[in-house]
Amino acid sequence: MKKLFLLVFLAIFANTAFTQSMLPNGDMENWYPVIIPGTATNYEDLGVDMTDNWLTTLNSLNAVPAPIGPGPVTVFKTDDKYSGTYAAKLVSQTFVMTPFDVFIPGMLGTATLDFQNVRAILGRSCPGWKPTKLQGYFKFEPVNGDSCAAVILLSKWNSTTLQRDTVGYGKLVTKDTVSTYTRFEVPVDYSYPSSNLSPDSITILTVSSAGFNVISFMYSIGQPGSTMYVDDLSLEYPAGIEQSLMPETSITMFPNPANETLTVTLGKTVENGILEIFDVTGKMISTMDLTGKLTVLPVYSLSNGAYFIKIKEGSRLLNTGSFIVRK
């Protein structure tokens, strides 16, 4: 029955109009200078500043001090763009270390560098997001048969197994040279055993060498010099569905899946708020007033399936999420 629901869920997606949600700075327009005190080393990194960069790079390797560092800069601002003023240029390189060298792919996405363990920590919080696909525009200049990749992963922490369960996953790998900006799409596969869950983390990666290993860069494989250009990254949803990528307040929903009631808890008190419920086609099916932080939402009259919510205060969208009704 669970598998049947997932097939129906995906079939509805396949026959529905869609809307795009641009990732924060997914158009690659914002870059900030990084100056390393006491050195002549500096570079530009993606974002407004170090505290406002939803999409990140591995460029902070450049701040590794001697004698080990500095490490290579692998993502650059470029005016060779698809639209707007700038795009991102990802270049795979070798980090020359002692007593060995480490291959570092050009990587842009939701990855935070953990240099002490020579790896990347993945993911950003996503309160129930379930996009249908990751999309954008790219070019690729491979070296010696290398390949590039775009990846999207939605997961949920399992407090019993102390591991992450995969809710949805998609990956696109390209080996051929792509000399002009070309649209790419990475559909999200929601046919995993845990796809009925509401995800709490999203990982998005674009990588100039597809043989990357974020668990340990020591095992990454690729060719230095392979170059990928990326611009206009966005997520796709059914028409009418929005996701707040940088929400003004946190949101939790319990239990999820629900059968009788769903408790919605916000991170801050809301005055004169509105909660809107949509089905997977993007059709609004009900609204209710919100005041305070906690609201108990009756769901017993809803049919089994997936639903999306918007939390608004006046005209401002505070946050979004999704839940499942299963009776």
Q: What is the CATH number of the domain that holds 155?
A: 2.60.120.890
Instruction: Give the model's pLDDT for residue 6.
Output: 39
Instruction: Give the model's pLDDT for residue 309.
Output: 85
Tell me whether residue 243 is in a domain. no
297 & 177 share domain: no
Q: Is 180 left (phi over 0), alpha (psi -120 to 50) or beta?
A: beta
Tell me whether residue 244 is in a domain. no
Tell me whether residue 245 is in a domain. no
234 & 303 share domain: no
What CATH number is attached to the domain comprising 307?
2.60.40.1220
265 & 306 share domain: yes
Q: Which of 137-151, 165-179, 249-263 has the lowest mean pLDDT?
A: 249-263
163 & 289 share domain: no
Sign of the CA dihedral 297, 298, 301, 304? positive
How long a stretch of residues is the chain? 327
271 & 228 share domain: no
42 & 159 share domain: yes
Question: pLDDT per residue over 11-50, tens digit each?
Answer: 334 444 556 677 888 999 999 998 877 666 688 999 888 7
* Last-in-domain residue among 211, 238, 265: 238
Instruction: Give the model's pLDDT for residue 60.
Output: 87
280 & 139 share domain: no
* Last-in-domain residue among 188, 217, 238: 238
Query: Whole-angstrom Cα distance, residue 246 to residue 23?
Result: 9
Alpha-carbon Rg for the chain, nearest whole angstrom, is 21
168 & 288 share domain: no
Instruction: Give the model's pLDDT for residue 40.
Output: 62
138 & 260 share domain: no
pLDDT of 153 higher than 50: yes
Contact criterion met (CB below 8 Å) for 24 and 246:
yes
Tell me whether residue 246 is in a domain. no
188 & 269 share domain: no
| pTM across the whole model | 0.75
Question: pLDDT per residue over 52-93, tens digit each?
Answer: 788 999 998 888 777 777 889 999 999 999 999 999 999 999
Tell me whether residue 207 is in a domain. yes
User: How many structural domains are present in the chain?
Assistant: 2
Tell me whether residue 189 is in a domain. yes
Instruction: Give the model's pLDDT for residue 11.
Output: 38
Which domain range does residue 261 map to? 251-325
276 & 227 share domain: no
Query: Quick one: pLDDT band at residue 117, thresholds 50, 70, 90?
Result: low
Contact criterion met (CB below 8 Å) for 307 and 322:
yes
* Last-in-domain residue among 208, 238, 268: 238
137 & 176 share domain: yes
Instruction: Give the model's pLDDT for residue 19.
Output: 64
